[in-house]
Amino acid sequence: MWSHNQWQSSLYGSGCKNSERLARYAQVFSTVEGNTTFYATPASTTVRKWHDATPDDFRFTFKLPSTITHQQQLQHCDQLIADFFHVMAPLEHKVGLWKIQLPAQFGPHSLPALDAFLRRLPKHFPIGVEVRHAAFFAKGEEEKALNQLLITHNANRIIMDSRPVFSAPPLTEAVIDAHQKKPKVPVHAIATSDSPMVRFIGHPEDLSNDPFFANWLCRLPKWIKDGKTPYLFIHTPDNNHAPELATRLYTLLQQKCLQQQTNLPDVQLPAAETNPQIDLL
């Protein structure tokens, strides 16, 4: 997301209007998950506003609509996909990944549908696929078939790391909600194409995330050194402090890459606003 009321002080600033939030976000972060498209295709005027609010090197990662991935499960949806990409066309050059998030019932028997769907997409479109079916995490023949299919189509396997949030006791409403909604699947850190995506669902206590992020401090620099462009998204149960966690973990990654003689650009939140002092005479 790029619009969250609780980020007013940490990311936007007190004078920032809702319509200006994406532009402020893009001044700090270089990419965003566009989840709104999962629920509805935006209006053409909205797409143009998103384009105008972001620099040319900013990258969106938009989910395909649920009508395509969940209702039709990638079948008999040529017109739906054509209509969606037509509306999104002004942002095509700013899309880092088109994300295909598949429901849990989309299992090994559905791989031919995924294969046929990926064959119909433009070859130059960067694609990420997120699966939820247990067979795709069992390290058996079904998972091998999925990975090989993605490699064949130059599609990235989206990696969900929900270990941090599931390590938190369900003592708050936000954690309880996350436990109910987030998938609890094993972490298989595989790069099937050039832009692997990691979705890191954080623990509500800041430093409790570090043991889980340690593996990514090894994996991400290796991918970068290999010439890949990984996408890393940081969440927290209520996302209220996601910008702070994201920038802190990124700093750790930046330091790790520097040790391997790889420079990453700085990412910093705006300076905290302070109330001016008033002299009472």
Instruction: Return the pLDDT at 277.
Output: 46
Instruction: Count other C-beta atoms under 10 Å from residue 265's C-beta.
Output: 7
Instruction: Return the pLDDT at 278.
Output: 40
Collect all residues with Cβ–Cβ distance below 8 Å to 114 and sequence separation of at least 6. 74, 100, 102, 106, 129, 149
pLDDT in tens, the chain (281 residues): 899 999 998 999 888 999 999 999 999 999 999 999 999 999 999 999 999 999 999 999 999 999 999 999 999 999 999 999 999 999 999 999 999 999 999 999 999 999 999 999 999 999 999 999 999 999 999 999 999 999 999 999 999 999 999 999 999 999 999 999 999 999 999 999 999 999 999 999 999 999 999 999 999 999 999 999 999 999 999 999 999 999 999 999 999 999 988 999 999 998 765 444 444 33
State the DSSP code for 10: I
Instruction: Return the pLDDT at 271.
Output: 78
CA distance linking residue 67 with residue 94, whole number of Å: 23
1-154 has which fold? TIM Barrel (3.20.20)
Instruction: Return the pLDDT at 273.
Output: 58
Instruction: Return the pLDDT at 13.
Output: 87
What strands, in cross-sheet order, belong to the sheet with 59-63?
Answer: 31-34, 59-63, 95-101, 127-130, 156-161, 197-201, 231-235
Residues of the chain with CATH 3.20.20.410: 1-154
Write out the two tokens for 263.
């420079």
Give the DSSP per-residue string, the chain.
Answer: ----GGGIIIII-TT--GGGHHHHHHHH-SEEEE-HHHH-PPPHHHHHHHHHHS-TT-EEEEEPPHIIIIISTTSS-HHHHHHHHHHHGGGGGGEEEEEEEPPTT--GGGHHHHHHHHHHS-TTS-EEEE---GGGGSSSHHHHHHHHHHHHTT-EEEEEE-HHHHHS-S-SHHHHHHHHHS---------SSS--EEEEE--SSGGGGHHHHHHHHHHHHHHHHTT---EEEEE-SS-TTHHHHHHHHHHHHHHHHHHTT-------PPPPP-PPP----
| pTM for the whole structure | 0.92
Instruction: Return the pLDDT at 279.
Output: 40
Instruction: Return the pLDDT at 276.
Output: 44
